[in-house]
Amino acid sequence: MKKFNGFILSVIGIFVIIAFLFLIIHLMFTTPWLAGLLQKYCPVILPSDISTTQTTDINLILQHTDFIMQYLSWAVTLVGFAFTAFAFFGIQRLSSLREAEEDIKKKFEALQNKYVELQTRETSEFEFATARIFYLQGYYTDALEILYRLTDQSSFEVCLYRGHALQKTGDYPNALLAYENSLKSPDVDKAKVYYGMGLCWFQSKVYDTAIGFFEKAISEKSSFLDAYIDKARALRWKGDLREAVEILKQILKFSSQNPRANYNLACYLALLEDKDWGKYLEIVLKINALRYVKLAKCDADFTRVKDSEQFKEILQKHTPVESSKECNLETGKVV
């Protein structure tokens, strides 16, 4: 296409040059003052001593030149129209090409922005996954460092895990602030947020407020077992042991193998010196002996029953080799 356009331009250029030369020749021989100047300053073109015969020949040439110029003027006109049309369509084509170029640039910029967005999202997702791993492994400070570095600070998951990590480090005011910020997210899970806030108030020993937030979490998600269990835990520390026991018994009707509910119920019944504590302790030790034998050995809630034969038999029956060490009741540590 480019070669064809170049050929057309070359042809038009040649026609224009020929027409211009014929026009110059015509003017030289038909304009007296120009002919005089040529005879005076350019005798090679038009000698001053030209003969009559030569003049006659020149007149014949001029007549033919006039004839040629008429046709040539039409040819020049046609070439002019053709050139104008070609220029018009060329400009139109150039304009279309420029529009296409601008469209391609916009699409390229959009793709580039999309690529950067995807790269940023992938990086953020990777860093968030790393922060979650640190959190689950108990490296809360490292998790917080990554969570504060993430670009999407308004994300519900980022705010929620920041609140969880701050709560684990004991920074309850900032944890509550992170939970409140997570409530502003469009994809917020209010049950999780209220539960986290309840834990902050529980750890701060403000049990009534903690109970209120656990109840809010339950109202958002009626099957939220951890909220029920921690509500019972707050009631136990508030002094409402029997109400806490009733809540846990209700949970076990729907989730009889829940280890937290069974263990906490065993603890609360032991505090009340209810004989059923052993039944629930044995259930939880069957579920996870390695974890709960250690807890039971050092848990102050079993102080009233620790010397009983029932307690010793249950622990001896379910104690794995890894948990055979004794507990120092003064320090609360396994030795």
Name the 3-class secondary structure at 31: coil
Name the 3-class secondary structure at 26: helix
Residues 128, 188, single domain; the answer is yes
Tens-place pLDDT, residues 281-329: 999 999 988 889 889 988 999 999 999 999 999 998 888 755 445 554 4
How far is residue 283's CA from residue 292's CA, in Å, rounded to a whole number? 11
Average pLDDT, the chain: 77
Domain finish residue from 223, 240, 275: 275
289: Cβ contacts below 8 Å, ≥ 6 apart:
318, 319, 320, 323
Its domain, for residue 199, covers 122-275
Residues 85, 192, single domain; the answer is no
Domain finish residue from 117, 148, 168: 117
Residues 101, 155, single domain; the answer is no
Residue appearing with tokens 């921690």 = 230
**Band of residue 208 on the pLDDT scale cut at 50, 70, 90:** very high
CATH number, position 249: 1.25.40.10
Note whether residue 312 is domain-resident.
Answer: no
Residues 194, 269, single domain; the answer is yes
Contact 235, 211 (CB under 8 A): yes
Domain finish residue from 254, 275, 296: 275
209: Cβ contacts below 8 Å, ≥ 6 apart:
201
Note whether residue 59 is domain-resident.
Answer: yes
Pick from 68-77, 146-155, 164-173: least confident:
68-77
**Band of residue 332 on the pLDDT scale cut at 50, 70, 90:** very low
Average pLDDT over residues 59-82: 56
So what's the pLDDT on residue 80? 61
- Please choose, from the candidates 236, 280, 289, the residue with its C-alpha nearest in 3D space to the C-alpha of residue 258: 280
Share of the chain above pLDDT 90, in %: 38
Residue-by-residue DSSP string for 250-290: HHHHH-TT-HHHHHHHHHHHHHTT-TTHHHHHHHHHHH-HH
Domain count, the chain: 2
Which stretch, 78-82, 142-146, 263-267, has highest mean pLDDT?
263-267
Name the more confident of 99 and 324. Answer: 99
